[in-house]
Structure 1
Amino acid sequence: MTIQFLQQADGFFWSLLIAAILTLFWIISAIREEHKLLILISIRICVFAILLFLLLQPKLSWIDHYEFPLRWNIYADRSVSMGYHQSLSSDSYIESVNSFFSEAEIKDSETQNYYFDHKIYKPDETTVVLSGEATDLGKVIDHIDETESALNGAIIITDGQITKGEQKQSKLKHLSIPIFTVGVGDTIPLVDVAIQLIEAPTVVIKGEEMDVNVTLASHGRINDRVNILLYRGKKLIGSKNVQLHGDGSLTNARFKVTPQLLGENDYFIKTSVLADEININNNSQRFLVTVLKDRYKVALITGSPNFNTGPLKKIIKEIPRVELDHFVQQGEKFIPSINEFWSNSHELIVFENFPLSPISKRWKQILAKKIVSQSSSLFMFAGPNTNKKSIESLYPFFHVQSSQDTFDDSKHKQWIWSSESGIFHQISSEMITANVEADLFPPLYPKIMIDPEDNISGLAYYENSTIPLLVSGEVDGLRSGVWTSSDFSTLYYKMTESDHHNISISLLHNLFSWLLRTSGENELYFRINKDIYQQGEEIHIVGSPYGQIGKDLSSITGYISLKSKNNSLATYELLFNPMNEQWETKFLAGKPGLYNYEIILQDKNNQSIQSGSFIIDESQIELNQVSLNKTILQSISSLTNGKYIPWESRAELLNNIYTNHKQEMLIKSARLTENITAIIILILILSIEWYIRRLIGLT
């Protein structure tokens, strides 16, 4: 035992000590003849000495020796592959493992037994069924590392096939206890061919060639050729014959496909089946590719050519994948014939300086039928030759009506963009910044005054008024818009001569793209890499932001939510990768069942949702590698001074299991100023003094 003083003896301590000694001599001299009082003086001296001693804050330290029993941890693999080894049945394996557990506990009662797959379980935590969807030896190494100080050694019973996680080589080298491994199964793997990966775009343009890259993984002793077949629906569109080499090798095949059918194209990849192949569920896989139109037809109907006609035609023709049909009215006829307009399909119809006179009821009926049957969008530019009565005949198609508000004069008016409309952000959010520059836009002449109805929004207004310059919206799935000024050309040429020459062009490009539905909230195309998964298999979600080049897609947040009938809701975040302009996420397939999913992308103004479903089958990924990986198990034992034992010789390990104890020294300490013992001693001494005083008759 050692004693240490935490407080150094300072001047105050020595002064107090000297004063106490002098006082003591004086008292002894004064009561030298009173022998009964000498005992009381001695007690007071003890109390004072203890108080002075405590004033230095003494700390006592001593060493305690103790020992505790060390134990063995035994880990047995419960993954699916353990039940498919030809030399051992599932029931026989489970029975043998439980017997080994019992015999080990007899040898050392402190032994703790565990099962593992991609998690660690105690035998009472899970039913002993070989149903684990993946094998992660890294979890076992971590568990051994965490409990190393209490272990005598560890035993791992497994086939060594790692289907998840990584080996922890660095941890193995630093472990001070031996790890014995028991290898289960044969080193010759069972034959299996699996479609490892399909790389294909999620969205393409009709007529454009796309690459479909297929990667096959082959296991076992294989030196055969297989056919890789590519179907669209039930039609075979491609075939490749490739050589397989087995032993986990990868083989690639590339198809070049030119989609011609619009919409979702269902493709199917299939490989031929080899003899003795144990798992054929992974020999086929389907994937979807969305095919967009290669051309969008726009009809421009001009009542009378004017200064606006040229800029409008030029801007429309510059829009990618747009084909323009221009119809010019001459008297009662059109050039080319208006019959071509009625007989052909158009995604967008633009009325410019039209009509010059009210259109007939028959004309309206035919136009309405065309719009509904072809889901055509509409846009109208007010022109210098139209009048209020003629143009009002088209108002019902645009869901607007004549406004009661007017201007007192016929002068040109300054105008500004609105920042409150949700549609505005879908069309061109960069226009907002233009408002900060005074007089950037030229004043325009308000030709028609309208009030928008429900679901039609004002995108730009004349200053100090509620009269809109530009409105747009969607009603019953049909989109439309109106430009109320008759001098769009003024805006076009004024902007062309300024540092902001792209604004008028960008306005119409974005506006018409929205009307044609070639950009905006519906252009997010996501695909999962399969529709049927095996337990433990990686699910990869990828999305292509087609048609949104130039927008800050990284500001959009996204996630995928999964829900099945028998499982709770699960959510995984989608991350935007700016390198390939895709949203991505990966996670492992869980319990079997049918899963419905929702992919949600949102910003502060909009939310987009894509729904779908996929199936998770009973775990088969473990069956891709049904063999004994002896090399990994020997490496684990070698790095920890253990030993590799084949399954048939497992009984030998029982001889290594024995009871052992570990001795450790523990340094203990106590500060007397914080210890109740010192207080008890002081109280005891003072109690003795009080008793003696009463005994000799003192108060």
Structure 2
Amino acid sequence: MSFFPDASTIQAIQNGQFSFAYGPHPLLAILLFLVLPALVWLLYRSTTRPLSPRWKALLIALRSLIAMILLFMLLRPVITTWQVEPQETYLAVLVDDSQSMQITDLEGQQRRLDVITEQLYGDDGILAPLSERYQVRTFAFSDQVRRISDASELSAEGNASGLDQALTQVREQLGGLPLSAVVLISDGADNADADPLLSAREFGADQVPIFTVGAGQTQIPLDIGITDVSAASTILDNTVFDVQVNLAQQGFAGRPVRLRIMDGETEVAAQSIVLGPDGSSRRYELEVSPERREPILYELQVDELDEEIILQNNRYQFLVDNSERPPLNILYVDGHPRNEFKFIRRAAEGDESLRLASYLQTGPGRFYRQGINTPTELSDGFPASAEELFKYDAVVMGDIGREFFSDAQLTLLQDFVAERGGGVLMAGMLDDALADSVLGDILPVTPVRSETLPAFLQGGLRRGNHATGELFAPRLTSAGEFSPLLRLDSDDAVNRRLWSELPALQGIYVTGRPKPGASVLLEHPSLQYQNQAVPLMATQRYGSGRSMALTTASTWRWQMLMSSEDDSHQRIWRQSLRWLAQDAPARVSISFDRQFYNAGDEVVVSATVLDAEYEPDNNALLYLQRTDPMGDVSDVAMTWDIDDNGVYRSRFNADAEGIHRVLVDVASAAGTGIETEKQAAFVVTPSLREYNNAGLDSAMLSRIADASGGRYYDLPQIRQLVNDIEHVPGAFSREVQEDLWDLPFLLALLIVLMSLDWMARRYRGLS
């Protein structure tokens, strides 16, 4: 036995629990240690020879220390700790192998992975001493978990960090073995859907502590990152679309940079910006005009600055599908020929994404059809069956009297919006007889009969000094100013200027107040009804569909009184018609579970099939043909989702980056006339998940450790972990008690103190 405590004893003292083997209650033991100095002091109150206060204090202190050491030894002090038998248990080491481990934010501009590798496998690495006591199993994890044997198998190429998946899979693989503990090394930036604390608590319940080690800096000091890009996934009219970009930065406040949108090697949009304050995130908007009719993969780029630590998040790819597609079918019905109808028709005819089939009453019992696909279309007037009406995506109605519709047709129109998901626009005057019909329920304004209005609000188009027939410049509301229906330019100031230059309208049909939930986009600048500005254009959701009210018949003035080159009238009407119709579901529609994918992700393709009455069709037979970016084609069957009527799904993994195309072939037993093929596209892009919010999340790692009974360490502290693991209680550790009373240095200390006491007493002549 060595004179001083050896390393194992010191480690036991640091990590174990101290107690007295023969000790009374802890409070009584403390009382005894306090009583001893008091007794010694009483004994030295009177001495055979007079003593100075200093000598008395010295002798009392020496005797008290001797008595307390003797009491300490008699109570038999012990340290209780926990140990495992060498090589009888297992230890799992999980190493984060995701792309964020490539970040060079550690001392000396080192990659996280390089420092971790050195700490594990280097000359002073922890795996060697851990392997002396445990059977160590090492795993690399990212979006997958795999066993590794040496540092060469770590690549930092995974595009996700799934902490819960890593813990779950290790638990499954080593569940039948005596597992003492788990070491988890990561930056803690979990980007999977599952909560790792659930797995940590399961390990804790099994008395398997998790020791977490954090790698990286809490905040990346120098970085510009694209955090989000929002753009239309599909466009209908082959015209411009807006791209909104969220840009975050740290360490480059006030620096000028340039945003670019690239189509291959061609720059299609650019904007110079000045970065905001450190730690801020700002939104920018660019306008793009697609070059060709197909799915186009764009790349957004921001200047790479020399000092940046992460460059991968300076690029972001997104897909916009500009493929040719069938036009939206819109039915227009009007009670008499109007200038409004003529110019609306011209606007629609100039847009290949729209087909306007019109049914115009030209006189008593006389009707005129335009834009029809077949001789029989609309031959019997307004559709009288769901199969006929539901072929359209939207219905626009002009000045129509109540006699135009039967009660069944009005009910059918209500089903068209609420159930079919179509759109309805009332453009012009609403017949008083229709105010109390279901059409009044559909519209975003509350219809009122004209005779119930104040006299100055009646008339609509009456000339002279009548208020509702006067010229007026419609006023954009705050909702209308930013609505995609009414945008004339992406720049707010330019948009306001263009609206101010439009000719005045003449005549407004006054309705009641907007309904709760409706959005008023345009309103009369001066007329009010019930203390509220009279709405000119309002929209709302109704059931599965949409409705709009436009209470004037003079928007044709925006065309006739402007130069022939001005397209404001056409643009407003095209945007409004597309808004009405574009959300109406097709008989066959394709959707994906994500906006974009990264290499190796599972793709879930869903196809929704509706029958002729737009009810879910569960009796269809579907096959999916997939074409990857290399042109390789594969066929996959789609199966009906028993929990979701009319929905069929297929799952596969996407490996190659680029545009993937899918074609769904449908055969239905529910009826004829269904589309037999439907095409769509999705994109597999380089992952940014590991480079956004890539700072060390020590709080997450600490919670995982606490939930399991383990401890958290920063990477420089990792060597401390080697000694701590052994002394933390676990399912396969045994309790060990080590006596402290017989330590040689305690006996030596007692002899020294007794000798000093004897010499002091002899020197002062005491017995």
Which structure shows the bigger proportion of residues in strand conformation?
1
The interval holding the TM-score normalised by the smaller chain is 0.3 to 0.5
TM-score (norm 2): 0.41
Whose Rg is larger?
Answer: 1
